[in-house]
Structure 1
Amino acid sequence: MVARMAPYFGTIRPLITELRPNYCQCLIKKRKAVHNHIQTVHVIAICNGLEMAMGVMAEASIPAHLRWIPKGMSVDYTAKAGSDIRCEAVVQPEQWVEGDLLVPVTAYDQHDVVVVKGHIKLWISAKPAKSSA
């Protein structure tokens, strides 16, 4: 369903495995279509999974009077991604305030080794008032 709204996510075939307020986890299966030249999961595929986890978490969690838009992403590649990859995004409820929000994102391999770690910067703002025309 998410890939229908944002078709690019379909390239990694993500599966949301856990979603609750302020937390989302999705899985990227290791398959040839997401490999790099050394047959590990390409970091850009992992970044797509992290962005998807963050976006689903944000949509499910942000207070109704606020809206969000991504402003940037900063990640470190910490280990080879030689298996299926679990992508997670998490924030604390009190962080949903206007201004910049750094959402921690982490990708793990099947042995819980961190393969990518970083944050996605969001701009949080109030929704505009609805006009009564």
Structure 2
Amino acid sequence: MSSVLTLWQKSSSLPVVGPVLGTRLFSFAFSQKAPYFATIRPRFTEIRPNRAELVIPKRRGVHNHLGTVHAIALCNGLEAAMGALAEASIPGDRRWIPKGMEVSYTAKATSDITCVAETDPGQWTGDDPDVPVRVRGVRDDGTVVVEGVIRLWVTPKPPRG
């Protein structure tokens, strides 16, 4: 099991501080690993193989000129969700790197946004190194505001030596 998935499982079930504070601590720690993610203050709500979910709080720091969540903040959230999914899903003998992102903005992001990343189990074990991760951002009312694909390049880890 990956270190990200292990840390998520431990932090989201901490008996002393509870799951809410534990998941907040995880979200903070995840953002420190890749500091740019901290700009959106992600709040992870689910991480498991082939699925990750987080919330981008709607606040002034992520607004555009319209007062909605900025398109690049949305992409940042999608990429953070994808990264957590990839770490939770990839077999131990493989590595990944993002190689592209294609998104469509479908509605105004006028509330907190839930960013979801999903894959299918077989995508991680096949011979094709191109792994498309389906991503979407959803408003509180269920409206999809951004959707697309983040393409990963998944290859065997080089032998240690």
Do they fold alike, i.e. is TM over 0.5? yes
In the TM superposition, what whole-angstrom CA distance separates every residue of 1:56-85 from its partner, at most 9, and x where no partner exists?
Answer: 010011011111000010000000000000
Give every structure 1 segment of 4 or more consecutive aligned residues whose post-TM-superposition deviation is greater than 4 Å.
none
Return the alpha-carbon distance in structure 2 between the equivalents of residues 73 and 21 of structure 1.
Answer: 21
Match of 2:61 among 33, 36, 57: 33
Return the alpha-carbon distance in structure 1 between the equivalents of residues 87 and 155 of structure 2.
Answer: 14
RMSD over aligned Cα, in angstroms? 0.7
2:76 is aligned with 1:43: no
SS in 2 for 1:118: strand
Query: Comparing both structures, which one devotes a greater share of its residues to helix?
Result: 2
Q: Which residue of 1 aligns with 2:154?
A: 124
Q: Normalization by structure 1: what TM-score?
A: 0.96
**Which fold has the larger relative contact order, with Cα–Cα distance below 8 Å and residues 6 or more apart in sequence?**
1
Q: Which residue of 2 aligns with 1:57?
A: 85
Return the alpha-carbon distance in structure 1 between the equivalents of residues 52 and 129 of structure 2.
Answer: 22
Q: Which residue of 1 aligns with 2:139?
A: 109
Return the alpha-carbon distance in structure 2 between the equivalents of residues 89 and 3 of structure 1.
Answer: 17
Taking every aligned residue pair, what percent have the same amino acid on both sides? 55
Uncovered stretches (5+) of structure 2, i.e. residues with no partner? 1-28
Return the alpha-carbon distance in structure 2 between the equivalents of residues 65 and 38 of structure 1.
Answer: 45
Deviation at 1:3, TM superposition (A): 1.1
Q: Which residue of 2 aligns with 1:13?
A: 41
Deviation at 1:2, TM superposition (A): 1.1
Return the alpha-carbon distance in structure 1 between the equivalents of residues 33 and 129 of structure 2.
Answer: 26
